[in-house]
Amino acid sequence: MKRSIQGIVGIASILFLLASTACAATKTEPNQVSSSPAASNQTTKVATDKQRVVKSSKGDVNIPAEPKKVIGLSVVYPEFLYALGVTPIAVQNYHSEFPSYLKEPFKHTVKTGLAQTPNFEAILATEPDLIIAPTWWSDKDYEQLSKIAPTVLLPQRDNWRDELKDIGEVLGKKTLAEKVIQDLQNKEADAKEKLHALVGNETVMYMMIMAKELVVYGENIDRGSFIHKELGLKPVKDFPQSEQSVSISLEKIPDFNPDHIILQLDDDSSDEVQKRYKALLESSLWKNMTAVKNNHVYIMGGKEWFSLGMSPLADSNAVDDVLRAFNKNAK
């Protein structure tokens, strides 16, 4: 699930505040439960009244029993939080605007940008009472983050469903996490039946236009699995089954020649992506493909499908997009 990130955000402006926080802290690390007997008794009482103790990659952490101002670091953690009924107060954002399914609920959510080092100053300004992040994303920043608010680092997972369950466990919403997963499975199963009625065994190729390349996704990668397994759309016959995705030239696209093409623009606002998209549309090779001649090409935006295969919200939104596109084509 990791995506490339660039830029370094400075933290000099909050060193004084962090130093002050550190001075006021006890000798026990801010987020950790003390191992001394007396402190353990006190911690148990506090945990019962206003706090809970949860497990993290850094050990047990005291968090508010009912956190009100939560931040989920990494691009997809905010989506997990919202799926569990928690609107984050701040997010790290890849795009300048939120996808449509988050635009309204996140209208008051602070965007802190995306960088190798988080914008600690912006995070501090929101006064969070809980920070949740995956270890692979925030392990290097744990010390600074834990001085701002109780910080829970969770293990890296290969499947977003396990990530959602981890966060549900932290928030005391494990049952809700299971329901979110089951509801999406039901929605996908229903969509799978409808799509089979619309296209049967006709082949579908899922392709993305990126700034530097054209990529075709197979069944063995998150987003490709969503299209071909969860929704049951038949992949092209000649796609190499050992590959998750393949980068192809314009000249090679006709070799697949699918009945339908789901075409995603990686970044709608990118000049490079738009230039490559225009070249594709003007190509005689493209125009002579079966899907193109039959008007079976469905355009999907990069911002809307950015988290596809990595988030229940993104997947649910994509189900609607695919059904809408194929239904429209059938009329």
What pLDDT, on a 0 to 100 scale, did the predictor assign at position 28?
Answer: 37
Q: Would you say residue 257 lies in a domain?
A: yes
Q: Model pTM?
A: 0.82
Q: Would you say residue 75 lies in a domain?
A: yes
Q: Would you say residue 6 lies in a domain?
A: no
Q: Quick one: 160 and 211 in the same domain?
A: no
- State how far the Cα of 121 lies from the Cα of 124, in Å rounded to an integer: 5
Instruction: Give the pLDDT band (50/70/90) at residue 331.
Output: low
Full domain range(s) for residue 246? 180-330
Q: Which tokens in the block code for residue 331? A: 């009329």
Give the residues across from 131 on adjacent strands: 71, 151
Q: Quick one: 145 and 267 in the same domain?
A: no
Q: Quick one: 185 and 166 in the same domain?
A: no
Instruction: Give the pLDDT band (50/70/90) at residue 240.
Output: confident
Q: Quick one: 106 and 23 in the same domain?
A: yes
Q: Quick one: 282 and 321 in the same domain?
A: yes
Q: Would you say residue 2 lies in a domain?
A: no
Look up the CATH number of the domain holding residue 223: 3.40.50.1980
> Are 4 and 211 within 8 A, CB to CB?
no
Q: Quick one: 164 and 25 in the same domain?
A: yes
User: Closest Cα partner for 174 from 15, 5, 54, 321?
Assistant: 54
Distance of CA 120 to the CA centre of its chain: 21
Is the pLDDT confidence value at 315 over 90?
A: yes
The strands making up 110-111's β-sheet, listed across from edge to edge, are: 110-111, 90-91, 70-72, 130-134, 151-154
What pLDDT, on a 0 to 100 scale, did the predictor assign at position 172?
Answer: 96
User: Closest Cα partner for 132 from 84, 178, 180, 183?
Assistant: 84
What pLDDT, on a 0 to 100 scale, did the predictor assign at position 25?
Answer: 38
Q: How many CA atoms lie within 13 A of 179 on its CB side?
A: 8
Q: Quick one: 157 and 231 in the same domain?
A: no
What pLDDT, on a 0 to 100 scale, did the predictor assign at position 239?
Answer: 85
Of the candidates 152, 173, 194, which is a domain's last residue? 173
Of the candidates 173, 193, 217, which is a domain's last residue? 173
Pairing, β 214-217 against β 204-209: antiparallel
What pLDDT, on a 0 to 100 scale, did the predictor assign at position 121?
Answer: 95
Instruction: Give the pLDDT band (50/70/90) at residue 243.
Output: confident
What pLDDT, on a 0 to 100 scale, did the predictor assign at position 102?
Answer: 96
Q: Quick one: 304 and 231 in the same domain?
A: yes
Of the candidates 145, 173, 201, which is a domain's last residue? 173
User: Closest Cα partner for 126 from 69, 193, 179?
Assistant: 69
Q: Would you say residue 231 lies in a domain?
A: yes
Which position has the higher pLDDT, 15 or 203?
A: 203
Q: Quick one: 26 and 145 in the same domain?
A: yes
Among 76-85, 137-146, 261-270, the least confident range: 261-270
Q: Quick one: 156 and 221 in the same domain?
A: no
φ, ψ at 3 (rounded to 5°): -120, 155
Identity (one letter) of the amino acid at 42? Q
- State how far the Cα of 120 lies from the Cα of 144, in Å rounded to an integer: 8
- State how far the Cα of 18 lies from the Cα of 147, in Å rounded to an integer: 7
Query: Which pLDDT tens digit goes with each residue over 166-187?
Result: 999 999 999 999 999 999 999 9
Pairing, β 260-265 against β 297-301: parallel
Contacts of 330 (CB under 8 A, 6+ apart): 198
Axis-axis angle for helices 174-199, 312-330 (nearest 10): 20
3-state secondary structure of 125: helix
Q: Quick one: 167 and 261 in the same domain?
A: no
Is the pLDDT confidence value at 41 over 60?
A: no
Among 33-42, 177-186, 256-265, the least confident range: 33-42
Residue whose tokens read 């789901």: 262
Pairing, β 130-134 against β 70-72: parallel
- State how far the Cα of 245 lies from the Cα of 224, in Å rounded to an integer: 8
Q: Quick one: 162 and 185 in the same domain?
A: no
256-276 mean pLDDT: 91
What's the chain's length in residues? 331
Q: Would you say residue 5 lies in a domain?
A: no
The total of structural domains in the chain comes to 2
Distance of CA 326 to the CA centre of its chain: 25
23-27, 96-100, 152-156 — most confident range: 152-156
Q: Would you say residue 117 lies in a domain?
A: yes
Q: Would you say residue 7 lies in a domain?
A: no
R_g of the chain computed on alpha carbons: 23
Give me the helices (H) in 200-297, please.
Answer: 222-225, 253-256, 271-282, 284-287, 290-293
Query: Which pLDDT tens digit goes with each residue over 55-106?
Result: 999 999 999 999 999 999 998 999 999 999 999 999 998 888 999 999 999 9
The DSSP code for 233 is P
